[in-house]
Amino acid sequence: MPKKAFLDPGHGGYDPGAVDGKSAGDYVYTEEEDRNLSIGLKTRTALVRCGIEVKMSRTGDTYPSLGARCKMANDWRADRFISLHCNAASVSSPRGVEVLYYPVASSKKLATNLYNYVSQATTWVDRGIKPRPDLYVLNSTRMPAALIEYGFVTNPGEEKLLASPAYQTRLAELTAKGICRDLGITYKAP
């Protein structure tokens, strides 16, 4: 029986998530929801190529509630739950990848595997993995769960990278490698 990964591209619909508007010298307008979805769709393609069944909380610009996202994953009996996000800050200097997890051993292992791969996408700040028992999508799912923050849309350098389809593909492939590693499945390159 194939392993099952549930991907949750965060936000969507009326909730754009983190937003970085155009400012002096910044010609990119970013809504987090768009980056999350693009990376999620590319991750799905990579996982399917590796023989993993994939279900997504959304495949378009919709907003399933947090409860609906968890219910979908729980009802489907997913083996892993991965929520995909971009970070933001009130200043432009923070940058880097981090992975948040529900503080149980299986979720920490998933977060570590994801971080070990996704962090290869950049040489910027090592933000590491962090326990977050207060995040609804992590504490309301019944399988190992983690939330990836791919970078800061409020940091001009990362915002530009996150807008690049090639960089999104790199993040998706690295995410798939981390999931494969956690599930004990051989990653198959495109």
Here the tokens at position 97 are 């990848």
The active-site residue out of 149, 158, 159, 173 is 149
Could you name the CATH architecture of 4-183?
3-Layer(aba) Sandwich (3.40)
Neighbours of 83 (CB within 10 A): 26
Which of the four pLDDT bands, split at 50, 70 and 90, describes residue 177?
Answer: very high
Q: Quick: pLDDT tens for 108-131.
A: 999 999 999 999 998 777 799 999
Q: Which parts of the chain fold into alpha helices (H)?
A: 32-49, 66-76, 105-118, 136-139, 156-163, 165-183
| Mean pLDDT confidence for 46-75 | 97
User: Coil, helix or strand for 155?
Assistant: coil
159 is catalytic: no
**Which residue has better confidence, 14 or 166?**
166
Residue boundaries of the structural domains of the chain:
4-183
Give the whole-number percent of the chain exceeding pLDDT 90.
Answer: 76
Here the tokens at position 44 are 């799905």
- Cα–Cα distance between 179 and 60 in angstroms, integer? 23
Neighbours of 36 (CB within 10 A): 26
For the chain, the farthest-separated pair of C-alpha atoms sits apart, in whole angstroms, at: 53
Which of the four pLDDT bands, split at 50, 70 and 90, describes residue 4?
Answer: very high
pLDDT score of 114: 98
Tell whether the model's pLDDT for residue 23 goes beyond 60. no
- Asked which of 4-8, 77-81, 122-126 is least confident by mean pLDDT, the reply is 122-126
